[in-house]
Amino acid sequence: MIVTLERKNIFETAHKHIAFAVNIEGANDAGFAGAVVRDYWPSLESIGPRKMGEALSKRAAGKTFHAIVCHSLGHDGWKETPQVVTEALNKLLVEPSEVVGIVLMGAGRICQMQGADVFAILGGMARSKIKLAVYTL
């Protein structure tokens, strides 16, 4: 469930958990995932093929980063994202009272070219049981 929308840098959030999208190909050197790779989680850059819906978590710099495998780099690569995001978020191990900061997925130019539907993805986030603060710049 979305509890708030924030128009600011998620790296400056007070939330202890940050969730974001990664691809099934395991090539995460660009976009928000690329920023996480550079500053917090270098091994995430080339993790190899992953299963759609998988969530990888790593603790760094006082935060727990949750990489949600929810899209492909190919044509229509974001088609399953709304449903996958709901299911993956519901599996995260967070306290019910905690709010997870989550990056607005699919909003970038390349994501849009690959068919990402931001409003459908927001719907997927809203249907999750986890309390979410959605971040965009």
Q: How many CB atoms lie within 10 A of CB 55?
A: 19
- From 57, 73, 55, select the one nearest 65 (Cα to Cα): 57
User: Residues with Cβ < 8 Å from 97, sequence gap 6 or more?
Assistant: 131
User: What's the pLDDT tens digit per position in 73-132?
Assistant: 988 899 999 999 999 999 999 999 999 999 999 998 888 888 899 999 999 999 999 999
Structural domains of the chain in order of their starting residue, each with its CATH number: 2-136 (3.40.220.10)
Percent of the chain with pLDDT over 70: 100
pLDDT band of residue 60 (cuts 50, 70, 90) is very high
User: Residues with Cβ < 8 Å from 59, sequence gap 6 or more?
Assistant: 65
Q: How large is the average pLDDT for residues 16-27?
A: 95
Q: What is the pLDDT of residue 46?
A: 87
Decide: 136 and 7 in contact? Cβ < 8 Å. Answer: yes
Q: pTM (2 decimals)?
A: 0.94
